[in-house]
Amino acid sequence: MVAEAIQTKKRIRIDDDDDDEKTFTNDDVEMNPTLVAPDSDDCEMEFEEENPPPSPSPRNANESAIVSSSPAKFLTKPTTPASTPSNAMEEIFSPELLGQYYSRLFPFHLLHSWLSYDPSTSSTQQPNETKTITNKNKNNTFSHREFSFTIEPSPGDEIYIRYQSFTTLQELTTAVLKRNPRKIDIGAVFSHPPKDHHAHQSSQNDWRKFRPHQRELVFDIDLTDYDGVRNCGCSGANICKVCWKMMDMAVKVMDLGLREDFGFRHVAWFYSGRRGVHAWVCDEGARDLSDEGRSAVANYFEMNLETDKKQTHDLQTPLHPSFQRAYHILEPLFLRDILPESGHGILATPSAWTALLSTLPMPTASSVVESLTRKWESDDSTPLEKWDELKRYLDVLIGKGSKKSKKQSKTMELGEKQRIEVWPVATVFRYTYPRLDINVSRQQNHLLKSPFCVHPKTGRVCVPINPQKVEEFDPFSVPTLPQLMRELDEYNDDCIQEKGSGGGEEQEEKPQWEWEKTSLREPFKCFEEQFLLPLCKDLRTADRVKSEDC
Ligand SMILES: [Zn+2]
């Protein structure tokens, strides 16, 4: 209760209009007077023993059928858009629904197994084993990890609590069930347990100071940053299936670049719950990167994609091999998903192609603009044909065509020629190349929303995305909280019916976790099989090599 009173004095109001993906750093807290970092008292999570949090998920279908009879069934509208008006918020997101999600579905064991980086903390443990599992990892990776909670003790009154840390899976589970946070952020692994940060912050001995020393390399890509090139009618937090394809493109380019250019093997992708994606690069080499190293990797992927007529961009010929590879990935997607009317229609109407042609370097390309504008007004060529035609005209202009055009282009300045040559590439990239929120990537000590959380505005779970099948990912199919509760109820009702009719015995395999009874099964299983198991395998190999060397 004392802790509650202190927290009340240190409230951080988070504006509803604020970016949901906003993360806070120490600097944010210090620089911005409206944000106040909770002190160490806030971070001590002292729970009353006589009032324990709800039990973790029941073990099997039979037990859960019994348990499900006590919580209320949550009947709500069957579908919700990815961005939901605030007046519908109560139906898709509420403390009660969130509490149900944390107590029955949140995959604490997956999160703990991942963030421990210790193959001995197997993700395949039984749900009832959570109490006995402690992380004895020699590096204290889990126990020194910062978690932060955004809690809402009363409607509209948010408190942001930093520097939470937990020694065990059970401690984390207990704290989350008790606090029922609207949002969980994950920060760095520190030199000391973050809950003790005050005891070490003022230390005179440099080696004893509280400081971050490890952190996944993270990337945040948000459709808001594509507003200047989204012609689907969406802007800000709104998304649709047409503009979501830009996220598919971003994931493809980033995932391949991280793996091929930097040799990273363990890259986990997640839906942010509303309008973007997050990447967590978890290789040891990535986690050990300094802030300078992070900036260098992020800068490698960053591209100046100005949309003004001056076409100021970073592209030069010949293209850097990574840009060449990105172009080969992105141009076919640009032709399919950006150019046509069903996409962003940038060559589908006279006003659209006039706007696009006006971005050509002028006055050098004025003859091309005049010729094509005249031609396209009177023909019925498709956007795809127009794009090919435009590229052909530009090639001729810079002397890539006949001898005659070569002769004509000799009078053109080299700089102008290059600007025309890269214009098609720059145009494809302007619509399709990943737009990173680079500040998220640059610092070890930057918090990012925890995977598996629920976005309060949409009620949707931040589910893992398989980068190999990113085109199949549909943000509108990601389950919402009420949908998940319905799925649990339906599963358990079916079990009761089967048991009543004597068919229960024939059930092939009983689910180990409650989430296996819902549509979270596929994305969570995929995370486990495609990301977590290979990560643990590599960690085991690294441990074996180290012990052999000793
Ligand atoms: Zn859209």
DSSP string, 111-160: HHHHHHT-TTS-TT--GGGGGG-B---TT-TTTTEEEEEEEEEETTEEEE
Chain centre distance of CA 230: 20
Percent of the chain predicted with pLDDT > 90? 63
Mean pLDDT of the chain: 81
Residues 6+ away with beta carbon under 8 Å from 100 = 71, 74, 481, 485
CB-neighbour burial class of residue 407 (10 A; exposed 0-12, middle 13-18, buried 19+): exposed
Q: How many Cβ atoms sit within 10 Å of the Cβ of residue 151?
A: 17
Interval 286-321: pLDDT, tens? 999 999 999 999 999 998 876 545 555 668 888 899
Sorting pLDDT into bands at 50, 70 and 90, what band is 131? very low
Q: Tell me how far the alpha carbon of residue 85 lies from the centroid of ligand 1, in angstroms.
A: 16
Tokens of 95: 């403390």
Find, among 402, 540, 423, 522, the residue nearest to 118 by Cα: 540
Sorting pLDDT into bands at 50, 70 and 90, what band is 403? low
Please give the pLDDT value at position 451: 98
Strand partners, 449: 185
Q: Tell me how far the alpha carbon of residue 237 lies from the centroid of ligand 1, in angstroms.
A: 10
Interval 268-290: pLDDT, tens? 999 999 999 999 999 999 999 99
CA dist 24 and 446 (Å) reads 7
CB-neighbour burial class of residue 378 (10 A; exposed 0-12, middle 13-18, buried 19+): exposed
Computed on alpha carbons and rounded to an integer, the radius of gyration of the chain in Å comes to: 27
Please give the pLDDT value at position 139: 62
DSSP of 168-183: BHHHHHHHHHHH--SE
Indicate if the pLDDT at residue 52 is higher than 50. no
3-state class (DSSP) for residue 461: strand
CA dist 331 and 427 (Å) reads 10
Tell me what the mean pLDDT of segment 485-505 comes to. 82
Q: How many Cβ atoms sit within 10 Å of the Cβ of residue 297?
A: 21
| pLDDT higher at 523 or 129 | 523
Tell me what the mean pLDDT of segment 514-521 comes to. 97
Q: Which residues are catalytic?
A: 146, 220, 222
Q: Tell me how far the alpha carbon of residue 517 lies from the centroid of ligand 1, in angstroms.
A: 32
Q: Tell me how far the alpha carbon of residue 231 lies from the centroid of ligand 1, in angstroms.
A: 7
The architecture of the domain spanning 2-46+54-295+437-549 is Alpha-Beta Complex (3.90)
| Amino acid at position 60, single letter | N
Q: Tell me how far the alpha carbon of residue 252 lies from the centroid of ligand 1, in angstroms.
A: 19
Residues 6+ away with beta carbon under 8 Å from 370 = none
Indicate if the pLDDT at residue 450 is higher than 80. yes
Percent of the chain predicted with pLDDT > 70? 74
Strand partners, 160: 150
Indicate if the pLDDT at residue 34 is higher than 60. no
**pTM to 2 decimal places:** 0.82
Q: Tell me how far the alpha carbon of residue 23 lies from the centroid of ligand 1, in angstroms.
A: 25
Task: Return the DSSP state at 288.
Answer: T
Tell me whether the omega of the peptide bond preceding residue 56 falls within 30 degrees of 0, making it cis.
no
Sorting pLDDT into bands at 50, 70 and 90, what band is 130? very low
3-state class (DSSP) for residue 164: strand
| Amino acid at position 132, single letter | T
Tell me what the mean pLDDT of segment 371-381 comes to. 95
Please give the pLDDT value at position 438: 93
Q: Tell me how far the alpha carbon of residue 234 lies from the centroid of ligand 1, in angstroms.
A: 4
Tell me whether the omega of the peptide bond preceding residue 451 falls within 30 degrees of 0, making it cis.
no
Indicate if the pLDDT at residue 208 is higher than 90. no
Strand partners, 455: none
Edge-to-edge strand list for the sheet holding 464-465: 217-222, 276-281, 267-271, 464-465
CA dist 518 and 483 (Å) reads 9
| pLDDT higher at 522 or 7 | 522
Q: Beta strands of 265-386 (E only): which ranges?
A: 267-271, 276-281
Cα-based torsion angle of the residue sequence 16, 19, 20, 21 in order, rounded to the nearest 10 degrees: -160
Interval 451-480: pLDDT, tens? 999 999 999 999 999 999 999 999 999 999
Q: Tell me how far the alpha carbon of residue 341 lies from the centroid of ligand 1, in angstroms.
A: 13
- Domain boundaries along the sequence of the chain: 2-46+54-295+437-549, 308-432
Please give the pLDDT value at position 312: 55
Q: What are phi and psi of 186, to 5 degrees?
A: -120, 130
Q: Tell me how far the alpha carbon of residue 147 lies from the centroid of ligand 1, in angstroms.
A: 33
Count how many Cα atoms sit within 13 Å of the Cα of residue 184 in the half-sphere of its side chain: 26
Indicate if the pLDDT at residue 380 is higher than 70. yes
Contact 417, 408 (CB under 8 A): no
Window from 87-96, 120-129, 246-255, 284-293 with minimum mean pLDDT: 120-129
Please give the pLDDT value at position 138: 53
Q: Tell me how far the alpha carbon of residue 241 lies from the centroid of ligand 1, in angstroms.
A: 6
Sorting pLDDT into bands at 50, 70 and 90, what band is 409? low
Please give the pLDDT value at position 510: 84
Q: Tell me how far the alpha carbon of residue 347 lies from the centroid of ligand 1, in angstroms.
A: 17
